Amino acid sequence: MKKLSTLLFLSVFGLMLSCGSQPEEADVAVNMDTLTIHRHLSVLASDDFMGRKPFTEGEEKTIHYLESELKRVGVSPGNGDSYFQDVPLVEITGVQSPEMVVKGANGSMSFSTPNDVVVYTERVEEQVEIKDSELVYAGYGIVAPEYGWNDYEGLDVKGKTVVVLVNDPGFGSGDSTLFKGDEMTYYGRWTYKYEEAARQGAAGVLIVHETVPAGYPWLVVESSWTGAKLNLDAENAPYKCAIQGWITRNTAVALFKEAGIKDYSDMARSADFKPVPMGMTASVGVTNTIKKDMSRNVVGMVKGSTRPDEYIIYSAHWDHLGVGEPIDGDSIYNGAHDNATGTVGLMAIAEEFAKPENKPERSVVFLFVTAEEQGLLGSAYYAQNPVFPPNQTVANINMDGLPAYGEMKDLTITGYGQSELDKYAEREATKQGRYIIPDPDPGKGYFFRSDHFSFAKVGIPALYASGSYESMEHGVEFTEKKTQEYLAVKYHQPQDNYEPEEWDLKGIVQDATLLFRVGYRLANESYWPQWSEGSEFKAKRDADMSLKKK
């Protein structure tokens, strides 16, 4: 992690900025309390809710609990006269062919699955394959006009399979002006690489795995991209490559050697890079078992008094992993921290906005999304099928894992510098006696790994912030120890339980209060926060707002 002194310098610099164009107003009274947080956590993270997995009894209990609580506090239905938005999902359980066969001028090579290569598909088909598909090296697989970058320039990849590198050209380059240096951009995410290869019409896409730029070892690839996976099941879904997947670094080295490509990594860091036909073909397939079902987002709203057709959307995912492999005799993956804390924080914020004295001028939406743990599916479906138009949506404020160790001195903003929403958060943090820090590990791309990202992709400025670095009472080392303990033995494990005797809920109240005040300011002014210059999401927003003005 960065040293605190460096982070404090960044925060002081950031706090010199002013937010919006509106005058200062008196603070709104906020009356959240830990008893309310405790009551909701005790229910949502209980064994009775069975880990809140989509397609299970746990989902039914969760969504109806949220519906009843929104009704109780006076929040109106957000989707017409309903509190629910149907999210059609499909579960695809894929079995890979035993090996990927690559043929070239010097014969053929075989790479075993899942040791050398992992492949899967998002196509809702029982049998999917690439057969003798021409391999092309496409660098980082990026088309980024704002950086003057196009790895596909002059290349027709229809029917071909592209081999691309993980992360983006800036990572590990030592050049902070190349993309964003060691801070991952959206172009570095594996999801983007699949999407861009599909836009180019490729039949397959294989990402070269390396542990440091990926942020996780090959073991994670093996466990995450095999077995049953949920995907959106939309009739008019965009084109998907037949085969998506990863190859190990050793596999990549063997392929590049056979293709006669030297210094494959360095050559891809140049904006002058041209895609390279590899002179080989690949064959590999997946056999699928398919199950379709319907999950649901939960949507509530407090309608604005003077600008009801302008919206602030709060979000948090209600789902977790359900009942799974027992660990130490416990098979219920309760997801207390991830993300019952964010869910109860959102419920507390909704209750505050529902109070008559807090009536907002703009409408405020409370969106509890499904299937985040399966790949941000609930928020992605909402973004593709919005209840409220993106060009009438002012901002998104997302909550995912609020602090369980008491009040915090910091407010860590993941994606710091992306938009003017940072200034709103800084302002409220200062009032709480807190300082701002950016994500101390930006290379892992956490900005692209929670539900706010689905809103960013359609141009809506998004804020994802929480205390996570320095405990108000116990300091930095205490917080770091607790974080590492959680990651080691609780994250995505049955041990992520609500422990009332150990948890200090004042940190959840502190963050929820801050985020309420950010949204309250946005809901009672006329300003529209903007993406920062250079943000990869700015062009989409600018285009949508231009259409709105017409």
Q: Which residues contact 546 (CB under 8 A, 6 or more apart)?
A: none
* pLDDT given at position 72: 98
User: In this structure, are strands 330-333 and 393-398 parallel, antiparallel, or unpaired?
Assistant: unpaired
Looking at the DSSP assignment, which residues form a beta bridge with residue 162?
Answer: 136, 205
Residue 351, pLDDT > 50, answer: yes
- The one-character DSSP state at 158 is B
Are 426 and 434 within 8 A, CB to CB?
Answer: no
> Nearest-5° angle of CA 82, CA 85, CA 90?
150
| DSSP one-letter string for 383-414 | HHS-SS-GGGEEEEEE--S--SBS-BSEEEET
DSSP 173: S
CA 123: distance to chain centroid? 22
**Mean pLDDT, to the nearest integer, of 280-305?**
97
DSSP for 201-227?
A: TBSEEEEEP-HHHHTS-HHHHHHHSSE
Average pLDDT over residues 252-268: 96
Closest CA to 349 of 506, 509, 461: 509
pLDDT (mean) for 48-59: 95
* pTM given for the model: 0.85
- pLDDT at residue 487 in the model: 86
**Of 227-236, 333-342, 346-355, 483-492, where does mean pLDDT reach its minimum?**
227-236
pLDDT digits (tens, 9 = 90+) for 395-448: 999 999 999 999 999 999 999 999 999 999 999 999 999 999 999 888 888 898
Of the candidates 458, 325, 337, which has an alpha carbon nearest to the alpha carbon of residue 402?
337
- The predicted pLDDT at position 226 comes to 84
**Residue that has been written with the tokens 């200034």 in this structure:** 423
CB 297 within 8 A of CB 382: yes
DSSP state of 187: G
* pLDDT(382) > 70: yes
Please identify which residue in the block is written with the tokens 């050793």: 250
Q: Which of 414, 422, 434 is nearest to 510 (CA)?
A: 434
- Identify which of 264, 248, 152, 131 has the alpha carbon closest to the alpha carbon of residue 198: 152
Strand partners, 77: 300
pLDDT at 335 over 70: yes
Tokens of 260: 């006669």
User: What are the C-alpha distances in Å from 236 to residues 89, 177, 209, 318?
Assistant: 13, 39, 31, 26
pLDDT of residue 15: 40
158: tokens are 């229809």
Residue 25 DSSP symbol: -
> What is the distance between the alpha carbons of residues 456 and 383, in angstroms, rounded to a whole number?
9
The string of pLDDT tens digits covering residues 68-119 is 999 999 999 999 999 999 999 998 999 999 999 999 999 999 999 999 999 9
DSSP one-letter string for 69-100: HHHHHTPEESBTTBSEEEEEEEEEEEEE-SEE
Phi-psi region of 263 (alpha: psi -120 to 50; beta: other; left: phi over 0): left
CA gap 245, 94 in Å, rounded: 12
* Cis amide leading into 31 (omega within 30): no
Residue type (1 letter), 399: M
* Element containing residue 380 per DSSP (H, E): helix 377-384
Q: Residue 494 in 3-state DSSP?
A: coil
Q: Which residues contact 238 (CB under 8 A, 6 or more apart)?
A: 198
Mean pLDDT of the 244-272 span: 96
Q: Residue 472: in which H helix or E strand, if any?
A: none
pLDDT at 23 over 80: no
The H or E element containing residue 255 is helix 249-259
Encoding tokens for residue 529? 């926060």
**Above 90 in pLDDT, residue 142?**
yes
In which band, very low, low, confident or very high, does the pLDDT at 304 lie, cut at 50, 70 and 90?
very high
> In residues, how long is the chain?
550
20/521 Cα distance (integer angstroms): 10
pLDDT for 39 equals 97
Residue 149's DSSP bridge partners are: 144
pLDDT band at 236; cut points 50, 70, 90: low
Q: Is 107 exposed, middle or buried (0-12, 13-18, 19+ CB in 10 A)?
A: exposed
Only one residue has tokens 């998104």, namely: 396
Q: Is the pLDDT of residue 235 over 80?
A: no
∠ CA 313-314-320, nearest 5°, is 130
In sequence order, what DSSP letters do the residues of 428-483 get, joined into one string? HHHHTT-EEEE-S-GGG-GGGSSTHHHHHHTT--EEEEE--S-BTTTHHHHHHHHH
Give the pLDDT score at 422. 98
Burial of 546: CB neighbours in 10 Å, binned 0-12, 13-18, 19+ = exposed
Longest dimension (CA), the chain: 77
Strand 276-302 and strand 76-77: the pairing is antiparallel
